[in-house]
Chain A
Amino acid sequence: MCRSVILWVLLCSSVAAHEMTPTYPKWQTSMVEGIHKTTMEMFNKRKDVKWYEIGVFDEEWKAIPFVTSYKILEVKYLNHVKFDVYITSNNKDKAEYICSLSKLRGNNNNKPMIASKICSRFK
């Protein structure tokens, strides 16, 4: 009982989280020939972070060119943001991971010490 109460308190006391879905995205054909797209969703429960950088990587974590409306997205506290990622057909099969990384501001008075990164994988 005591353990479950402690766990519940710990879970409820958390106010700083970063989440991105889906875990296993799929490429879909876009309106433009030779271009594929996928849609991702992010949720920001980190009060100390407002900006997230998007990246697409191959199996060896080398960056792959892609297009989004912004490579650094503003996701306000407690907001969900959906964004599309576009890639050329040539790079579609090379892309292995799509990641979002919290951007920490050096001039922030809180000086956050933890950067969070979530990577979904193309299977």
Chain B
Amino acid sequence: MKKILLTALVLGLTACSMFMPKEAEAVTNINGTVESRCTVNTDTSGYYGNPNAYTLTTLPASAGQVPIVRIDTSLANAYKAQISYPTSFSSSPSLGDTVVWTGAVAVEQTSSTDMSGYQAASTTADGGAMRIYPLSIAGATWFSVSSVATYGGGQQKAFPGGSYTAVVVAECVAQ
């Protein structure tokens, strides 16, 4: 009798389990990694204005445009930015006299107020033409690079007519 009852119980439970709704469960992981990276963006391409015969300048007051470079880093303390103003023309008419170069690199804007100390923390190299910024906070930093070229070595000689190009170098170097 007991055997019959036990068999019936087992069969009943098996039948129940067959008719019960089954929940399918699957675990799908979405994996992602944050890789440190640096992006150099040329936000505003600059050009020279020619306020007088012997000067080329990126200053807007002299019809020039100051180039703006944005550097984005995804990880703090992974990169340093090295921005240089030009000290020679990359293309120009033949020049027989000296060109005096001046310029400045400055932090124009930052994505975080914590980056406000970047300019004060920066150092210079290459005779002052290059400014080095340790990027200690992740985010975006905009740098403006002004440039002035004066022809004639102080004698104020007129630049020969033609097209002039000088290059700003924006570097992002892993620390």
Known A23-B79, A114-B168; contact A97-B36, beta-carbon cutoff 8 A: no
18-46 of chain A: CB within 8 A of chain B: 18-24, 45-46
Q: State how many angstroms separate the Cβ of B114 from the closest Cβ of chain A.
A: 14
23-62 of chain B: CB within 8 A of chain A: 35-43, 45-47
Q: State how many angstroms separate the Cβ of A20 from the closest Cβ of chain B.
A: 8
Task: Tell whether, in the assembled complex, residue B38 and residue A106 are in contact, meaning their CB atoms are under 8 Å apart.
Answer: no
Task: Tell whether, in the assembled complex, residue B90 and residue A110 are in contact, meaning their CB atoms are under 8 Å apart.
Answer: no
136-153 of chain B: CB within 8 A of chain A: 140
Chain B residue total in the interface (Cβ 8 A): 34
Task: Tell whether, in the assembled complex, residue A113 and residue B47 are in contact, meaning their CB atoms are under 8 Å apart.
Answer: yes
Per a CB cutoff under 8 Å, which of B38, B43, B167 touches A16? B43
- Complexed CA–CA distance, A97 and B82 (Å): 15
Is A72 part of the contact surface with B, judged by Cβ < 8 Å? no
Interface of B is mostly: strand
Per a CB cutoff under 8 Å, which of A21, A113, A121 touches B167? A113
- Complexed CA–CA distance, A113 and B67 (Å): 8
Please name the residue on chain A nearest to B109 by beta carbon: A10
Interface of A is mostly: mixed
Most A C-beta atoms less than 10 A away, residue of B90, B140, B172:
B172
Task: Tell whether, in the assembled complex, residue B45 and residue A117 are in contact, meaning their CB atoms are under 8 Å apart.
Answer: no
- Complexed CA–CA distance, A115 and B40 (Å): 9
Please name the residue on chain A nearest to B74 by beta carbon: A23
Binding site for B on A (CB under 8 A): 7, 10-11, 13-14, 16-24, 45-46, 48, 97, 99, 104, 106, 110-121
